[in-house]
Amino acid sequence: MPSPIKSGRRHLKTNGPAIAEKWKLAQEKARRTATWARTMTKVIISQNNSQAPFWHVVNFLGPGKCEPRGIVDLLAVRKNQGEHALPLKRGDCFDMILIQVKGGSAKRPSAEERERLRSVAKIYGAKTILLSEWKKGSKAVLCRLDGDEWSSAIDPAEVFGPRSKPGKKPRTKPEKNGKVMASAASKAWATRKARLHGDA
């Protein structure tokens, strides 16, 4: 009877290249999904970022445009035009929002990751912590971290829309049909895929 150890070695020697190729393909798929999740999150922000002071989104990338270490995937920042104690003047300070992005079937942040997000927000005075979830063929969905739990889906305009003036109701855009939004996202995905194949 052959030794299990020797049989395992023969299996790795014979199938090693195939396993390595599958791992490489899985890594590339995960990278593309993460890239699209960040892109669709920025699309949602830009659609609601129509009035000054404008939000600017910082996208953190590591070597080879892969996800770097760290709990924050995107940082939304804008000038705070409010009144501050001297010697500060209007526009000297910033509003910041921390965004964790999940694409495809990625799990939501764990309790330890939520604690890390709250710690970073406390250090930098971030006003909100958001989770953006995106699946192929649909738009990104935003949730807010309330205490230790994620809220249900929120309207992006609540966070990134224009500030309402005292005594004046904020203007709201008519909500687009969900099927129309999903169709637009599907077309964007198909266009991106065609370009990637064209470059190959």
The reported pTM is 0.71
Greater confidence (35 vs 24) lies with 35
Q: Using CB atoms within 10 Å of the CB of residue 157, give its burial: 0 to 12 exposed, 13 to 18 middle, 19+ buried.
A: middle
Backbone angles phi, psi at 199, to 5 degrees: -80, -20
> What's residue 182's pLDDT?
57
| Helices 178-199 and 4-47: angle between axes, nearest 10 degrees | 120
Rounded Cα–Cα distance for residues 179 and 57 (Å)? 27
pLDDT in tens, 50-101: 888 999 999 988 777 777 889 999 999 999 988 889 999 999 999 999 999 9
Residue type, 85: A
What integer is the mean pLDDT of 170-190? 57
- Indicate if the pLDDT at residue 199 is higher than 60: no
**What domains can be seen in the chain, in order of their start residue?**
30-162 (3.40.1350)
